[in-house]
Homo-oligomer: A and B are copies of this chain.
Amino acid sequence: MTNAANAVRSNRCAWANATGLVQIAAGLAAPGVVINFTANEQIFGENEPADFIYTVVSGATRSVRLLDDGRRHIGAFHLPGDVFGLERGEAHRFTAEAVGGSRIGLVRRTVLERAAEQDSDVARRLRSLTANALEDLQDHMLLLGHRCASQRVELFLMRLARRAASATVDLPMSRCDIADHLGLTLETVSRSLNQLVRDRTIELPSVRRVVVRPARSG
């Protein structure tokens, strides 16, 4: 795949900026490959063999599950630097799709596992990675179980803002994506967003751009 090889060569700085898997892979001889995905393109499917570990170089991805009744559940979004597709068993438990156009890095799972076996530092980073994911899920669980619609949306935006280290956030995902992640409908997400604007908790300069107001104290 010449495309992927070109992507690697032309994108050194993205590799350097990314965290997590990239840093782990950087300690290995095999730095992996970068592939371009277009919007909504599938990266891997549920139940497919989990031979690779993935990292977001640029863009964003979503981990999706289709429910029996046709509804869609988004377990998580992955932003640049995030690692995904790290499974315990042999198969993926989610479908992964690109939210918008995205560059995704790949590392062979066996390579990573062998490295973890030999280098306790790689092993520790790997553990830290899953422990991090665990804590994120715990927080998200609390949100889903015990927060009303507008709080879910607000907390979601605040998490994105903290992640971006900026009050201004460009949303890569649609209202529908957000809804399926927060356990709401897209209509409720839209209403909640505009409610937050009325409350002066956020600003909405354009449909996909949000400015999170600093927690007002006074």
Of A6-14, A24-32, A134-142, A164-172, which stretch is located at the interface?
Answer: A134-142
Q: Does A117 contact B (CB under 8 A)?
A: yes
Q: Does A109 contact B (CB under 8 A)?
A: no
Q: Which of B87, B135, B181 contacts A88 (CB 8 A)?
A: B135
Give the size category of A's interface with B. 20 to 34
Q: Does A160 contact B (CB under 8 A)?
A: no
**A88 near B144 (CB under 8 angstroms)?**
no
Tallying the copies of this chain within the complex gives 2
How many Å lie between the Cα of A130 and that of B140 in the bound state? Answer: 17
Given A75-B142, A144-B141, A145-B144, decide whether A134 and B132 contact each other with a Cβ distance below 8 A.
Answer: no
Name A's interface SS.
helix
A149 to chain B, nearest CB (A): 12
- Residues of chain A whose beta carbon lies under 8 Å from any beta carbon of chain B: 65, 67, 71, 73, 75, 87-88, 93-94, 116-117, 120, 123, 126-128, 130-135, 137-138, 140-142, 144-146, 181-183
